[in-house]
Amino acid sequence: MTMRLQLHLPDKALAIVLILLCSLGLTLSVTPLALADTLTVGKSCPVFSQSASPSQVGILAFSQPWYHSGRTDARYVAGDNATGIGLEIHFFANTQGTVKGLNKAACNRYRLLQIRKTTAQLFEGEKAIQIDIPDEAYTPFYDNSPMEHGYGTHQTPMDDLDKPWSGRPVRASTVAIYDTPYVSDSYGVEGQHIRTEFETCVICERDMGYDSLLSCGTWGYQRDYLNEETGWTEPEIIPVECLQKPSDRFRQTLESSNQVAYHYWLQWR
């Protein structure tokens, strides 16, 4: 069941509301408010430990998406020049999942790992489906430099040109990422829609023992091809869908990746 509410709460209070709703088997879909200084949640997904008797260890909250033009001119309503979208994605551990609490998943820390599938033209060395990290990354996690991320109580990224707010508002979550993907017309394939899909998963990282893949959410956007003269439309949002466990595509992408050798350290292998 999905509840559609309009909330504007401090992040810690919002986290409590989200976790309570998820514990009752409800998801939250929020209509955005004009202000963006606090987290505006579009949808929340329950996150479970992957064990014989799964426990809910928190929620994965996806912000209301926004639009931008090549990482400038960010707004909640798409302009004619929009080429991409933006989201905040936050994991909030609950009392069952907090590392310093009951820690039902037995984690040392939580990370976020994301794969990307696109129909756009690719840079040299890229694959249509791959882990969503830059070439210089040495781990598969999105919450790692140089990508935009934060832990605990933190300020949003310094670059606000592709965000629908000014300055650096404060957020509070276990781990968060800030993603603003886009595909300009020059990277579209003539005659084809530009479609980019993501799957974002919570990882239970352990210092001793294998890591575990927990629950996920899928999201993305599509720019429809119109004609040779006009090119592509502004992005249409692909709504967030919750997954209790990673998809086969996610696992296969990690398994076949030559970007990092992380797949050797997962329990499911």
Tell me the C-alpha distance between 206 and 166, whole Å.
36
The angle formed by the CA atoms of residues 115, 113 and 63, to the nearest 5 degrees, is 90
Confidence of residue 11 (pLDDT cuts 50, 70, 90): low
The alpha-carbon radius of gyration of the chain (Å, integer) is 18
Tell me the C-alpha distance between 221 and 56, whole Å.
29
Confidence of residue 12 (pLDDT cuts 50, 70, 90): low
120 vs 1, which has greater pLDDT?
120
In the sheet with 212-223, reading across from the earlier edge strand, the strands are: 129-131, 109-118, 194-205, 212-223, 236-243
- In this structure, what token pair is assigned to residue 147? 């990508």
Helix, strand, coil % (nearest 5) of the chain? 10, 40, 50
Please provide the size of the chain in residues. 269
pLDDT at 78: 96
84-93/129-131 β-pairing? unpaired
pLDDT at 74: 97
Residue 20 has pLDDT above 80, yes or no: no
Tell me the C-alpha distance between 188 and 190, whole Å.
6
CA 17 to chain centre: 20
Tell me the C-alpha distance between 242 and 219, whole Å.
9
Indicate the pTM of the whole model. Answer: 0.87
